[in-house]
């Protein structure tokens, strides 16, 4: 199979995990190449996500690296067979790689935890609310680009529906709930949509009121996507240049603690819904 020109974040993560496994075992690139019957350049390309690796070669590498975590190995094997099969591939060439990466990671997550202080989580936004945000960018987007992003956002939201959807824990600050993007009518319908979504069995909505005080990383949007094993968790944070993806052990630990803190100071689900109803009554 020819090399990829733009590997996805998931493909790059598979490569980095294989490199981590090889380095931890003290295995050189040359030895790995000889073991798998490949040249050194192909090993390097596999470890950067540019080239694929077969399930058989992956298991051979894991065995010779003395990796005995079968759940971890099986999860890595599952990652070898997902090249270009997702619905988001229809948007390749029209939207940025980072946006496609978010949808791919969401589709494979077993649980998602997200924290927002200024915006409603994207997976819970109404179309009118999302449109208002897409139109408030500099430089302004052409109308067809805005429509494209809205269609993509709506498709992303389907991950929370259907059979066996992932657990979704949304922590939303009062500041985000009181933003009137699009005016009072749009804001009111957005809050009602949140209330309806919070009734889903796989979704837990937690509100942090202003009175809750300080928490770490205030103002930063955090999406924590749990993989099939903890080693494959991913954190996605927003930046002015697009999404950033983190997967280092220290980074994952930091953001788990970040979200744990925010969950501790948030209102429980029932009280969170009552809080939102009070805001709606003030609009």
Measured CA to CA in angstroms, residue 199 lies from 91, 129, 194, 203 at distances of: 31, 20, 9, 7
Instruction: Indicate the domain borders of the chain.
Output: 9-79, 91-282
Per-residue pLDDT, 149? 96
In this predicted structure, the answer to whether residue 78 has a pLDDT above a threshold of 90 is: yes
Total Cβ atoms within 10 A of residue 242: 12
Report pTM.
0.93
* pLDDT 10s digits, 82-95: 665 799 999 999 99
Confidence of residue 81 (pLDDT cuts 50, 70, 90): confident
Per-residue pLDDT, 83? 60
CATH 3.10.450 fits 91-282, yes or no: no
From CA 163, how far away is CA 155, in angstroms rounded? 16
Residues 6+ apart with CB under 8 A from 183: none
Confidence of residue 238 (pLDDT cuts 50, 70, 90): confident
* pLDDT 10s digits, 212-231: 999 987 678 999 999 999 99
Residue 172 host element (H or E): strand 167-173
From CA 250, how far away is CA 271, in angstroms rounded? 33
From CA 269, how far away is CA 273, in angstroms rounded? 6
Total Cβ atoms within 10 A of residue 275: 16
Under a CB-based contact definition with an 8 Å cutoff, are residues 252 and 233 in contact? Answer: yes
Superfamily name with CATH number, domain 9-79 = lambda repressor-like DNA-binding domains (1.10.260.40)
Alpha helices in 139-268 (DSSP H): 143-157, 174-178, 184-197, 249-265
Per-residue pLDDT, 49? 94
Give 41-49 contacts, CB < 8 A, sequence gap 24+: 45/3, 46/15, 46/18, 47/15, 47/16, 47/18, 47/19, 47/22, 48/7, 48/12, 48/15, 49/4, 49/7, 49/8, 49/11, 49/12, 49/13, 49/14, 49/15, 49/16
Under a CB-based contact definition with an 8 Å cutoff, are residues 125 and 152 in contact? Answer: no
């Amino acid at each position: 199979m020819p090399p990829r020109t733009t590997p996805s974040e998931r493909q790059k993560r598979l490569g980095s995990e294989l490199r981590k496994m090889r380095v931890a075992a003290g295995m050189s690139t040359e030895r790995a190449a000889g073991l798998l019957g490949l040249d050194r350049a192909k090993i390097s390309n596999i470890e950067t996500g540019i080239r694929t690796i077969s399930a058989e070669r992956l298991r051979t590498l894991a065995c010779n690296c003395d990796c005995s975590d079968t759940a971890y190995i099986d999860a890595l094997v599952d990652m070898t067979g997902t090249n270009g099969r997702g619905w988001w591939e229809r948007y390749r060439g029209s939207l940025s790689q980072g946006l496609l990466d978010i949808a791919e990671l969401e589709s494979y997550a077993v649980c998602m935890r997200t924290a927002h202080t200024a915006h409603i989580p994207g997976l819970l936004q109404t179309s009118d609310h999302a449109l208002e945000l897409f139109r408030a960018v500099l430089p302004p987007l052409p109308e067809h680009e805005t429509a494209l992003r809205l269609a993509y956002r709506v498709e992303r939201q389907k991950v929370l529906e259907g059979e066996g959807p992932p657990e979704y824990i949304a922590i939303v600050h009062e500041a985000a709930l009181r933003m009137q993007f699009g005016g009072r009518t749009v804001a009111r319908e957005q809050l009602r949509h949140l209330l309806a979504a919070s009734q889903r069995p796989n979704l837990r909505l937690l509100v942090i009121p202003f009175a809750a005080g300080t928490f770490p990383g205030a103002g930063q949007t955090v999406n924590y996507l749990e993989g099939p094993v903890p080693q494959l968790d991913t954190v996605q944070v927003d930046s002015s240049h697009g999404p950033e993806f983190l997967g280092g052990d220290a980074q994952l630990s930091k953001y788990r603690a970040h979200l744990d803190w925010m969950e501790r100071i948030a209102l429980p689900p029932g009280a969170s819904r009552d809080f939102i109803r009070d805001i709606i009554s003030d609009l």
